[in-house]
Amino acid sequence: MPLDPVLDGLRADARALLPETAALRHALHRTPEVGLHLPRTQALVLEALEPLGLEVTTGTALSSVTAVLRGARPGPAVLLRADMDALPVAEESGEPFASEVPGAMHACGHDLHVAGLVAAARLLAARRDELAGSVVLMFQPGEEGDHGARLMIEEGVLDAAGERVVAAYGLHVLSAILPTGAVTSRPGTLLAAADTVHVTVHGRGGHGSMPHLAQDPVPVAAEIVLALQAMVTRQFDVFDPVVVTVGRIEAGTTDNVIPADARLEATVRTFSEAVHGVVPERLTRVCEGVAAAHGLSATVDYQRGYPVTSNRPEEVERLARLVAGTFGDRAYVTAAQPLAGSEDFSYVLQQVPGTYLGVGATLADADPRTAPYNHSAHARFEDGALAVGPAVLAALALDRLAEG
């Protein structure tokens, strides 16, 4: 196919920036930080953005960085996002730039996201004259369970350019599954919602030989575990599924004493906001109802995690077109089904149209089917992905802004 000169320029410039981008990634990788407060990571981001002349602000509740790049021409604003946090994992990757912080590792590749968004900022800053509008760069701590994206939304990141952004894009690198350079996404649900439930069954303790004088919570807890599996298959459409896994169950101290209560902990995964919305009520009804059937009671503490990550079909079409135009027709792969992982960029996509995407970062000499996956202490990510992700993000921003 004929090369689009704009896309070809982005591809070539991202490739030329690769040594610099990889060096920043290695610096970030050496000093991983976990959670919402990442002062060293924030300092590296601020230093890298310094020469670009952006409007930079930092967060209050978390060590985020928001930077606004103004184009030479008027137009709307779009948002590009990178998460910044590492995991509490002791690194065993063997990389020469491995973590120097005991017990912390960039095992999910967020170091590539940060360095990649800096590179995208450099690509876009070099094209200010062609930019019709603004680009908000969202550097976000606390993706791994701390709701950092929600906190940044509360601190105004979606309006950082002075008006609400009209589109938002983010990406995740994958150390397995996809070869380096491949880009994947899908219209609609890309990632699951993930909730946590704690159930306590309240009975009355007693002697194991005389259960009729007690109220035994153990068989009730066992029945709840099974009833939840029946709920999943009988109350929900098999094509809009629910996964409930009771990962922890606890009661009692010894064989001949009936305990006073029993506790269950479960994770709940759902793939549409409609189902995500009704699951808490139905699950609570099952737990309370089973307990009541036996004359006991149950309390259910249902904690909502991240929402479903849902992509706008027209933004996925844009992505597929731009990836093919930049890296060739075979670079974009439509994901056949959602992944059961979850992601707090979902909070952004609840409010703004856009898309989330995956970028292959399997080491060149590794097999995508067997390479250690994200979150593994052995996970390794190919620097070459940093020649792809930034060009794609910059292309998305330029293309969306050109639409007005």
What is the nearest approach in angstroms of Zn ion to the Cβ of residue 34?
12
What is the nearest approach in angstroms of Zn ion to the Cβ of residue 149?
12
149 or 251: CB nearest Zn ion: 149
Please give the structure tokens belonging to residue 193: 């919602």
| Cβ contact 372:227 at 8 Å | no
Residue 385 amino acid letter:
A
What is the nearest approach in angstroms of Zn ion to the Cβ of residue 396?
19
What is the nearest approach in angstroms of Zn ion to the Cβ of residue 367?
22
- Annotated catalytic residue: which of 85, 288, 382, 383? 85
182 or 401: CB nearest Zn ion: 182
| Cβ contact 240:275 at 8 Å | yes
375 is in an annotated binding site: yes
106 is in an annotated binding site: no
Give the Cα separation of 51 and 34 in Å (integer).
27
What is the nearest approach in angstroms of Zn ion to the Cβ of residue 143?
6
What is the nearest approach in angstroms of Zn ion to the Cβ of residue 46?
22
Give the Cα separation of 161 and 243 in Å (integer).
40
Partners of 188 in beta bridges: 311
108 or 264: CB nearest Zn ion: 108
172 is in an annotated binding site: yes
Give the Cα separation of 327 and 294 in Å (integer).
63
327 or 356: CB nearest Zn ion: 356
Alpha-carbon dihedral angle through residues 334, 339, 343, 347, given to the nearest 10 degrees:
70
82 or 227: CB nearest Zn ion: 82
7 or 108: CB nearest Zn ion: 108
- Annotated catalytic residue: which of 33, 83, 143, 343? 143
Please give the structure tokens belonging to residue 71: 């184009």
What is the nearest approach in angstroms of Zn ion to the Cβ of residue 53?
30
85 catalytic per annotation = yes
- For tokens 């306590």, the residue is 200
143 catalytic per annotation = yes
Residues that bind Zn ion (CB under 5 A): 108
69 or 149: CB nearest Zn ion: 149
Binding-site entries: 108, 110, 144, 172, 375
Just list the catalytic residues: 85, 143
Binding-site entries for Mn(2+): 108, 110, 144, 172, 375
